[in-house]
Amino acid sequence: MPGSDSRAQPILSITPTPFVPGGFHVLRRVVDLSLGTVPLTTGPLPNDALATHIEPTGPGHPRQFVQRVGLTLPYVFPNREIGVDVYLGDSLPHTHAECLWQEETTILGEVPQKLKWAVRDIATVPAAEWTREAAVIDLTHLDPAEPAPLQAVQEAARHLRWGDFVIWSTGGHARRAAQGEKGTLPTPGIRHEVAQWMVEEKGIVGIMSDIPVDPVQDYGRVGAGAAGVHTYFYQHAILMLDNAVNFDRLRAERVWLSGGLCLKTHGVGSSPARAIAVRGELETSGPGDLVDMFTAMEPNGGAAATDPIRRVEPYGLQPEIFKRYEVFGMQIAGEPEAETLKARKGPVRPQRDFGSPIRLFNSHLGTFMRIPYEPAGRLEDGTLRVKQIKPLASADLIGPAVVVDLTQVGPQQTVSQALIAQQAADLQPGEIVLLWTGFSDRYYHRADYLEWSPRFEIKALEWLLDRGARMLITDAASLEPHLWSDQLLSEVDPLLYARGVPAVVLATNLWLVRQKRCYVICSPVPLAGLPTAPTRVVAIEAWG
């Protein structure tokens, strides 16, 4: 039971990351409470053959076309449950994390033995690598046209500690934003000797930069010794966060960073990232201490859930539809642009990029969030649409949490108000509530998992909300008071909308949270128009 003496012992997942803004050290455990998902189709894993889809590039159809895909297709079940199928490109234009080292050596299986540990997909990157302290290396005072020399970086990084995540700030993002998409800015990149110093002498685990890490003249180089900084980071398992924003708002040497990797999906090397920096002490932070470092995504094709929804899915297929996740590997093939050729020096590799997959995933995939929305209304032609979806601020998704032990409740049994009142008697206003049943750990693998979920009395949920719970998180598959049925409308969605409270279902690993209280960060996919969204949930425990 969380909080009991028998469970209050450190385990190997403790992350020794002392945070010292006020002169004291704190050990923190980072526990990933999110389900991992495996694609139904073969994705571009390191040793796969080349992808079977070829997308030509040329005038008016650059490689970014594939990377920018953002297609949403909403649907409705007979009981008015609404979901969205999402086709999402690999990395642009949204803030994203990337980790998958993929090139000729990885595909042919010729990676040296000592480097094989660095070949990993995004789902296998531990949450503790991107939920940790970060050192802000401020280089905005240097010439933006030249890569920062090692000595200047070392001077600016005196506060850098072993095991930090690095936030590399040159002012490049602000300059690009001022010029617009067609502006021309220098991309000096990071010197190789600087990357080596940070990785091999300072032990960094990741980097978030406001400029490309490779100088533009190194793009596409081949031959001995030609591997750029980007590849060097891959080879040393350094997580990279790209397209982040608001570097100028940090105004601190050290922050707590949530990289916010939203998708725990195997078979791909990237994920949208709802990156948030916290200034000052994590546990005592307020909304004014949060800095959003991500860009929200807007669909560029299909329809939104707020449009009339004409597609109806059979209710009996709901468990399968909720687990829908496929990866379509793409070969991007074409002639290099003239401007790119001018900037390059030396031999140029063939214009074939097989690292740009498109993902199809369901908005209910894995651990997902029910975002408060006004229940679907029926239009004159018989179709449905979502009337309004509540926008989520970062302050809604981060905060102190309390674990409520409900493990005595089995499948298809009901969590009563009396049990909630007993187990959550010490709930404080403003806390996130973790409702631990153990269900997903044991039953999510089943094809009929929805039929066996515990139920929750509406009065039990109202009891929590009346006492100021700001978010509900459970490892059960549903918060509804009734069993899985196509005849009954949701009783929970109207309640969440009326109170403005999001809820997460199908969290996992709650048994790993060893203390009664912790700190929780949720990272739903920041794609506009989703009434439900795959969500990464991380619990942080302080020790000492």
**What are the counts of helices (DSSP H) followed by strands (DSSP E) for the chain?**
13, 32
For residues 397-404, give the mean pLDDT. 97
For residues 495-522, give the mean pLDDT. 96
Q: HEC profile for 29-41?
A: EEEECCCCECCCC
Q: Is the pLDDT of residue 341 over 70?
A: no
Question: Three-state SS for 105?
Answer: helix
Taking residue 30's Cβ as centre, other Cβ atoms within 10 Å add up to 22
CA 419 to chain centre: 33
Please tell me the distance from the alpha carbon of residue 132 to that of residue 136, in angstroms, as a whole number.
Answer: 13
| Residue of 410 and 143 predicted with greater confidence | 410
Q: Is the pLDDT of residue 337 over 80?
A: no
Q: Is the pLDDT of residue 47 over 60?
A: no
pTM (two decimals)? 0.89
Please tell me the distance from the alpha carbon of residue 210 to that of residue 139, in angstroms, as a whole number.
Answer: 11
For residues 521 and 276, is the Cβ–Cβ distance under 8 A?
yes
For residues 480-490, give the mean pLDDT. 81
Q: Is the pLDDT of residue 20 over 80?
A: no
For residues 254-262, give the mean pLDDT. 96
User: What does the pLDDT read at residue 199?
Assistant: 97
For residues 400-428, give the mean pLDDT. 97
| Residue of 503 and 217 predicted with greater confidence | 503
Would you give the DSSP letter of residue 531?
S
pLDDT digits (tens, 9 = 90+) for 303-313: 888 888 889 89
- Of 245, 235, 207, the residue nearest 111 (C-alpha): 235
CA 387 to chain centre: 27
Q: List, in order, residues 6 or more apart from 518 with CB less than 8 Å away.
A: 31, 400, 401, 403, 434, 539, 540, 541
For residues 67-80, give the mean pLDDT. 89
- Of 31-45, 82-96, 318-332, 385-399, where does mean pLDDT reach its minimum? 31-45
- Of 207, 190, 181, the residue nearest 97 (C-alpha): 207
Report the b/e string of 388-425 with b at 16+ CB within 10 A: ebbebebebbbbebbbbbbeebebeeebbbebbeebbe
For residues 480-493, give the mean pLDDT. 83
Residue 71 pLDDT level (bands cut at 50, 70, 90): very high
Would you give the DSSP letter of residue 146?
S
Amino acid at 35: L
Peptide bond into 524 cis (omega under 30): no
Rama region for 62: left / alpha / beta (φ>0; ψ in -120 to 50; rest): beta
pLDDT digits (tens, 9 = 90+) for 98-146: 998 877 677 677 888 888 888 888 999 999 999 999 999 999 999 888 8
Cα four-point dihedral sign 329, 449, 396, 497: positive
Residue 90 pLDDT level (bands cut at 50, 70, 90): confident
For residues 256 and 282, is the Cβ–Cβ distance under 8 A?
yes
- Of 169-173, 246-250, 363-367, where does mean pLDDT reach its minimum? 169-173
Please tell me the distance from the alpha carbon of residue 175 to that of residue 185, in angstroms, as a whole number.
Answer: 8
Please tell me the distance from the alpha carbon of residue 284 to that of residue 58, in angstroms, as a whole number.
Answer: 52
For residues 359 and 88, is the Cβ–Cβ distance under 8 A?
yes
For residues 328 and 358, is the Cβ–Cβ distance under 8 A?
yes
User: What does the pLDDT read at residue 427?
Assistant: 97
Taking residue 64's Cβ as centre, other Cβ atoms within 10 Å add up to 15
Please tell me the distance from the alpha carbon of residue 439 to that of residue 437, in angstroms, as a whole number.
Answer: 5
For residues 62-87, give the mean pLDDT. 88
User: What does the pLDDT read at residue 78?
Assistant: 85
Q: HEC profile for 216-261?
A: HHHCCECCCCCCCHHHHHHHCCCEEEECCCCHHHCCCCEEEEECCE
User: What does the pLDDT read at residue 236?
Assistant: 93
- Of 59, 11, 10, the residue nearest 338 (C-alpha): 59
- Of 290, 253, 264, the residue nearest 275 (C-alpha): 290
Please tell me the distance from the alpha carbon of residue 389 to that of residue 374, in angstroms, as a whole number.
Answer: 7
Which domains, and CATH codes, for the chain?
Answer: 5-37+366-543 (3.50.30.50), 53-91+303-362 (no CATH), 96-292 (3.50.30.50)
Please tell me the distance from the alpha carbon of residue 348 to that of residue 371, in angstroms, as a whole number.
Answer: 47
Q: Is the pLDDT of residue 405 over 90?
A: yes
Q: Which of 117-126, 290-299, 501-510 reaches the highest mean pLDDT? A: 501-510
User: What does the pLDDT read at residue 269?
Assistant: 87
What is the pLDDT of the chain when averaged over all its residues? 84
Give, rounded to a whole angstrom, the gap between the first and last alpha carbons of the chain. 20
pLDDT digits (tens, 9 = 90+) for 346-374: 555 555 665 578 899 999 999 999 999 88
**Structure-token match 């004014």, residue found:** 288
Q: Which of 50-59, 210-219, 287-296 reaches the highest mean pLDDT? A: 287-296
pLDDT digits (tens, 9 = 90+) for 186-229: 667 899 999 999 999 999 999 999 888 887 555 444 333 446 89
Question: Three-state SS for 271?
Answer: strand
For residues 475 and 507, is the Cβ–Cβ distance under 8 A?
yes
For residues 167-195, give the mean pLDDT. 76
